């Protein structure tokens, strides 16, 4: 019986030999070309490698309506908690200077909303939670300690990705966000809820900045 060359390619893409490592590097480099190319390449990799979609968390929720409502509520509440409690305790400035240009700037909203929904909600969750958890899971296993290590690695990596434009406060917030989202993904194995939550979190941040409410929210608890 002759071997199916397509199956051989799939096995090599799933592995950590030369082709598998090349695939990892290409996926990681995707966002250097255009956002969210890395996430799109992840979907291509899943298809070509015959990786089950559930392994990157692409499992439809039992109830889309429930997931959307809870995801939005949790994302909004999480953002307010970060802005009003966590970040002030870390000594972060009340104003995010990187995105302060959005304040009252209606023309900037369409582009920002696109970035939040496509680059952050879809792109970052697919890459940092779905794909990275699958790849590190193949290396470290599925034990509690392995999952803990994966959460830590991906959260720090996710945080460092925010240094260029948001410096230390952005890194701190992203690491904490990564720890929360990563833990949820490790427990549930489902990513669509996190896409919704992530988008709601960032849209809330956008609204706070647009309506010039950053200082008020940051001083809501600690005057």
The pLDDT confidence band at residue 197, using thresholds 50, 70 and 90, is very high
CB atoms near residue 186 (< 10 Å): 19
- pLDDT score for 6: 76
CA–CA gap between residue 162 and residue 145 (Å, rounded):
26
The pLDDT confidence band at residue 147, using thresholds 50, 70 and 90, is very high
- Is pLDDT at 2 greater than 90 in this prediction? no
- Is pLDDT at 4 greater than 90 in this prediction? no
Q: State how far the alpha carbon of 5 is from the alpha carbons of 12, 26, 166, in Å.
A: 11, 22, 46
Tokens (6 digits) for 101: 């240009």
Averaged pLDDT, 62-88: 97
CA–CA gap between residue 17 and residue 19 (Å, rounded):
6
- Note the Cα 115 to chain centre separation in Å: 12
Contact (CB, 8 A) for 75 and 164:
no
CA–CA gap between residue 137 and residue 135 (Å, rounded):
5
Contact (CB, 8 A) for 19 and 142:
no
| Neighbour-count burial of 7, counting CB atoms closer than 10 A to its CB (0-12 exposed, 13-18 middle, 19+ buried) | exposed
């Amino acid at each position: 019986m002759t071997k199916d060359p397509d199956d051989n390619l799939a096995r090599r893409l799933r592995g950590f030999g030369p082709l598998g490592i090349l695939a990892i590097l290409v996926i990681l480099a995707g966002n250097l070309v255009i956002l969210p190319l890395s996430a799109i390449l992840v979907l291509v990799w899943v298809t070509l490698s015959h990786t089950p979609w559930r392994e990157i968390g692409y499992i439809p929720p039992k109830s889309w309506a429930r997931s959307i409502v809870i995801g939005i509520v949790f994302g909004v509440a999480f953002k307010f908690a970060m802005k009003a409690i966590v970040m002030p305790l870390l000594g972060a400035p009340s104003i995010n200077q990187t995105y302060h240009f959005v304040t009252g700037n209606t023309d900037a909203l369409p582009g920002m909303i696109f970035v939040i929904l496509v680059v952050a909600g879809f792109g970052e969750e697919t890459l940092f939670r779905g794909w990275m958890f699958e790849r590190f899971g193949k290396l470290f296993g599925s034990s509690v300690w392995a999952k803990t290590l994966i959460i830590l690695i991906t959260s720090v990596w996710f945080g460092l990705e925010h240094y260029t434009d948001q410096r230390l406060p952005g890194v701190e917030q992203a690491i904490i966000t990564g720890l929360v989202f990563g833990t949820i993904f490790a427990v549930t194995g489902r990513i669509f809820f996190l896409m919704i939550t992530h988008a709601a979190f960032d849209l809330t941040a956008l609204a706070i900045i647009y309506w010039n409410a950053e200082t008020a929210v940051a001083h809501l608890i600690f005057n």
